[in-house]
Amino acid sequence: MLGNALQNLGTMTIAEQVVAALKRGLPSGRADVAEIARDMGMSERTLQRRITEEGTSFRDLLVEARKDLGRRLLSSETVQIDEVAYLLGYQDVTSFHRAFREWEGMSPGRWREHHASRSKAIE
């Protein structure tokens, strides 16, 4: 299994690797560019340059990772919304609500209700 994971790293773009690293690091507060660069075995400047060469930015990748991880965490009704905000690296719940509303067009609580009702309808 580890062999497959390592093999997939070779086929992932730098941006995809950064997003994966961010998703792993966000809950523990390790989501800054310097930390990710260190984890990936390169300098911060090299990482920034390679991200730019792929046509994106660290900030965009951070938003992408937060969106994906946020949706995944909100899909579990056992995780409180304020805990999701904290795990995604937001200083307060209000900032998370504002960002989530920009991403999804609705509040995290409404999104959770909507997706919980859709999941039950599928069952």
Single pTM value for the model: 0.83
- Residue 5 pLDDT > 60, yes or no? no
Query: To the nearest 10°, the Cα dihedral for 114, 104, 19, 2?
Result: 10
Angle of helix 58-74 versus helix 14-25 axis, rounded to 10: 50
Closest Cα to residue 18, out of 104, 88, 41? 41
Closest Cα to residue 18, out of 28, 29, 33, 1? 33
Highest mean pLDDT among 2-11, 24-33, 60-69: 60-69
Q: What is the pLDDT of residue 29?
A: 85
Q: What is the pLDDT of residue 14?
A: 96
How many C-beta atoms lie closer than 10 Å to residue 85's C-beta? 22
Residue ranges and CATH numbers for the domains of the chain are: 2-122 (1.10.10.60)
More confident residue, 95 or 119: 95
Task: Please answer whether residues 31 and 38 qualify as being in contact, where contact means their C-beta atoms are separated by less than 8 angstroms.
Answer: no
**15-49 pLDDT tens trace:** 999 999 999 999 988 889 999 999 999 999 999 99
Average pLDDT, the chain: 88
Quickly state the pLDDT bin for 94 (edges 50, 70, 90).
very high
